[in-house]
Amino acid sequence: MIAGAQLTCAGCGATLPPHAPYPFRCPNADADDDCDHVLVQDPEMGGARALYPFADTDASQPFVRYRAGLWSYAAARARGMSDADYVEMVEALDSAVAAVDGHGFEVTPCGPENDLATHVGMAPDSLWVKDETGNVSGSHKGRHLFGLALTLEVTERTGWASRAETDRRGLAIASCGNAALAAAVVARASRRPLRVFIPTDADPKVVARLHALSAGVVVCPRAPDVPGDPCLRAFHDAVKQGALPFCCQGSENGLCIEGGMTLAWEMVESLGRKRAQLDRLFVQVGGGALASACVQGLRQAIALGVLARMPRLHTVQTAGAWPLRRAWERIRARIISGRGRTDASAADLMAGRERAWARAETLDYARAHRAEFMWPWETTPASLAHGILDDETYDWLEVTRGLIESGGWPVTVNEERIREAHAMARTATAIPVDPTGTAGLAGLIELRAQGAVPHGERVAVLFSGVEH
């Protein structure tokens, strides 16, 4: 077995059998033990890295370009597939996606937006934007789902699962917007049955597109006095009945994260070409998969020597629901004592060497006592940035770890900031991004107003989600 094809639960330590047909969830995921069960790949990725460098620079398709970093590639090689066969598989599925959505996956733009920087009050070359609005289905979500589709293809082509059994189980996702669209596009391209669990207030245009893509749409109303997302509860019921989690939540399918890591690796390459170093990265957070993918992708780039250091991470949620900030505050209280510190000073203390033991102990404790830190938002969340209104930040622990290690902290923005950022982005750039996609920019504007982003720093935001 090639190193890197092993999957282990970051929560309980359970190891998935090497030839598990559907390597998506920890075998103990349904245990009522309050543990954060998330499957992660071997961080060394040793065998795959020995075969290829960080990127195959001859390839423009991200899942070909960065195949050496993907679990599906390591598993394919370990199970007898050649490199050429894997590349052919990726390109065939990508062509099928293009036939459904008009184009396949390509490296998306990442670079300075100087007019936007001027509007924010920053210097030229100091504000970079990673633009995902031109990606498959209009956001980064397709990356997560395409990676899962590749995993299914590998397990079926190497004989560890049958297509008939996969289709019998079917795919399932809980989503209200971009993730559902991405899942429907990739499922249609790979000719796999999909059920989408959506809320009653889902965008009618999104719902119409889901029906056009032949997805099975299930509307899930909220029940009075029942906390949490009703779509997620229905999704859980479907998974317990055999459906495969085809979703953008690492807690439900650990391998969804690796597709998102391709976005981080593209950013690293863009910075490298201009010999630029990033000081801060602002990431809008709903369920947390995007931020988790950025953290893990950047961490791997550092380990490989293609990125010098981790930028300070700032996650951004709205005043309508900020479960990640709430969890971070509870963890902060365990790592450092005393109150009255600013977020910046608290973040610096938590990242310092003298707090290394407290960090490790606290994160280990949180991993085994999830409910003390992360639970459903008590009221029905509302915001113009509808796409990040998850009741919980499902990938909260890895994101929190990234916040602490990088010296960053979570930012909460009000609706005025959300509207301001969206208007500014649409005025100062030609990017057709929606309010959810500019929430990271809202976080930057907020910290600039607080004086927490020093002049001369280079920061990046992610624009993801095309405005319909």
Please indicate, yes or no, if residue 81 is contained in any of the structural domains: no
Q: What is residue 113's predicted lDDT score, i.e. its pLDDT?
A: 98
Residues of the chain with pLDDT under 70: 1-5, 42-53, 338-339
Give me the domain span that covers residue 132: 110-138+256-463
CATH code of the domain containing 374: 3.40.50.1100
Please indicate, yes or no, if residue 43 is contained in any of the structural domains: no
Please indicate, yes or no, if residue 361 is contained in any of the structural domains: yes
Please indicate, yes or no, if residue 293 is contained in any of the structural domains: yes
In this structure, what token pair is assigned to residue 220?
């899930």
Distance, CA of 230 to CA of 223 (rounded, Å): 8
CA dihedral angle for residue 374, residue 379, residue 385, residue 388, rounded to 10 degrees: 20
Cα(first)–Cα(last) distance of the chain, in Å? Answer: 46
In this structure, what token pair is assigned to residue 291?
């931020």
Residue environment code for 405-420, b if the CB has 16+ CB neighbours within 10 A, otherwise e:
bbbbbbbbbebebbeb
Residue environment code for 80-93, b if the CB has 16+ CB neighbours within 10 A, otherwise e:
ebeeeebbebbeeb
Considering the entire predicted model, what is its pTM? 0.94
Please indicate, yes or no, if residue 152 is contained in any of the structural domains: no
Number of domains in the chain: 1
Please indicate, yes or no, if residue 307 is contained in any of the structural domains: yes
Please indicate, yes or no, if residue 348 is contained in any of the structural domains: yes
Please indicate, yes or no, if residue 121 is contained in any of the structural domains: yes
Using only C-alpha atoms, what is the Rg of the chain? 21
Q: What is residue 228's predicted lDDT score, i.e. its pLDDT?
A: 80
